[in-house]
A = this chain, B = another copy of it.
Amino acid sequence: MQITGTMLIGHDDVAGTEPAFRAVDPATGGTLEPAYGGGGQAHVDAAARLAHDAFASYRAGTPARRAAFLREIGARIMGLGDVLIERAMRETGLPRARLEGERGRTVRQLELFAEVVEAGDWHGVRIDHAQPGRAPLPRADIRMRHVPVGPVAVFGASNFPLAFSVAGGDTASALAAGAPVVVKGHPAHPGTSELVGRAIRAAVQAQGLHEGVFSLLFGADHGIGLALASHPRIKAVGFTGSRSGGLALMRAAAARPEPIPVYAEMSSINPVYLLPGALKARARAVAEGFAASLLGSAGQLCTCPGLLVGLDGPDLDAFIDAAAGRIREGAPGTMLTPSIHRAYTEGVQRLSERPGVAVRARGPAPQAPNQCRAALLEARARAFIDDPEGLGQEVFGSCALILRCADEAEMLRVARSVEGQLTATLHLEPGPDDALVRALMPVLELSAGRILANGFPTGVEVCHAMVHGGPFPATSDPRGTSVGTAAILRFLRPVAYQDIPDAFLPEPLQAANPWGVPRAERR
């Protein structure tokens, strides 16, 4: 498989006509060939129209066919071999083991959605059988199922070049729902994106699907993304990235003549509550786990623990000492791009200059370009409560702020003053911490998509019960998850069929239930 520097619009390789860009190797600062010409409005038009053309036949396909397609994408990604891993390493600075693991996760995610397609719960079938004898009026036969909303625009994330990018969770769940996908590849890893895009296209061709089921566009600036989210043929958006990027897409989608849903996963500082019983029992062990979670992938994870909240005292001191020690000696990781490194450096600087914030530990001085110098800051909880916006802003990378609370009431006040989050974590000791856990749980349920006990939020399991979502501004829409099988529900809507003769009903609603989908029936 060759990297050519083109976009993939249906079956065609198309060279962009807007200003070109190249990937940068963050480990050296050098640029990588080839150049990628940016796409313009004509390319967005072409891809969106093809997706629309493909929609009718793609959504009508059998579950077996759609599942085979998802599995073939996975097989063809594996078939790219080491070329993919090596390109991704150069484009992201991420180590081989991390990328091989991420590739496995990406392929398993496709397999899981293939199983979801086959299992069929996502059809959401409900059947109210007719009651011809009901008085005063007979009841009609009414059947509900889900249909896909239409073509979906997916924006690849910088920090998961495989699992949240071209063939990542948004793409897999949209394709599983029966929606064609137009991906806007992240400019930080265009070669990786192109390789994966070619694997998807080969699967489209091998499975004999309409070419419009998948396209891949590139662009160095935000213009092409906004054009894509604004295109009348696009019916939903999946995005993982910055708050400013997500907000811009939300505005564009709301301003359309026909507004569409936007699922933007934006920012989160993932508060970790260190309850006194847990710190008394194992301050050092919790600190080890925290430091590993903070330093992994240079902290460039949506669920990186960026805020710790404990009760002032010797146990919290012991925790901070242990964590600070780990952070001072942690090997600096290369960050994904020069701009992410710059934003990180500036973010740490800005946060450490807020009133009441002190720097408690920094990682070793960088020895190479774009390395992340981890930061552990601390402040009184009062400072956060007085300035939740200033102290609660995400610094993307290994940066965490520890808050010292005067008492449990102050810990609760912190919990109530944090914005919407992807996760909230409790380190707790059953028994001594019971009352505080019971007070915190209802607060955390309303401000986070996932609540953990005695673990760390990084390492998001791809499973049926996962929620990688949460109240604004963690995401644009708290009703969705972008990880796990429930992600498919974002791209579906219900349709009811009243007294439609069996021959004209879609398969999931027919009397014979030829696809064997689960159905809730009432007579």
Contact = CB atoms under 8 A, between A and B. Distances in A.
A258 B428 CA distance: 31
Interface string A472-494: 11001111010000100000111
A430 interface: yes
Contacts of A477: 261
| Count of identical protomers in the assembly | 2
Interface string A448-471: 111111110001010111110101
B520 A464 contact: yes
Interface string A421-463: 0000010101000100110011001101111111100010101
B504 A438 contact: yes
Contacts of A450: 495-498
Interface stretch (A140-148, A154-162, A352-360, A390-398): A140-148
A499 B453 contact: yes
Contact of A128 (B250, B465, B522): B465
B493 A479 contact: yes
B463 A128 contact: yes
A273 B174 CA distance: 32
A142 B463 contact: yes
Contacts of A451: 495-498, 500
A277 B434 CA distance: 71
A501 interface: yes
A453 B505 CA distance: 11
Contacts of A121: 520
Q: Is the interface of A mostly helix, strand, loop or mixed?
A: mixed
A259 interface: yes
Nearest to A486: B494
A234 to B, nearest CB: 13
Interface string A109-124: 0000000000001000
Contacts of A500: 426, 451-453
Contacts of A76: none
A434 B503 CA distance: 9
A438 B438 CA distance: 56
Contact of A465 (B142, B251, B455, B473): B142
Contacts of A128: 461, 463-466
Interface of A: 56, 60, 121, 126-128, 137, 139-140, 142-144, 147, 149-150, 250-251, 254, 258-259, 261, 420, 426, 428, 430, 434, 437-438, 441-442, 445-446, 448-455, 459, 461, 463-467, 469, 471-473, 476-479, 481, 486, 492-501, 503-504, 506, 520, 522
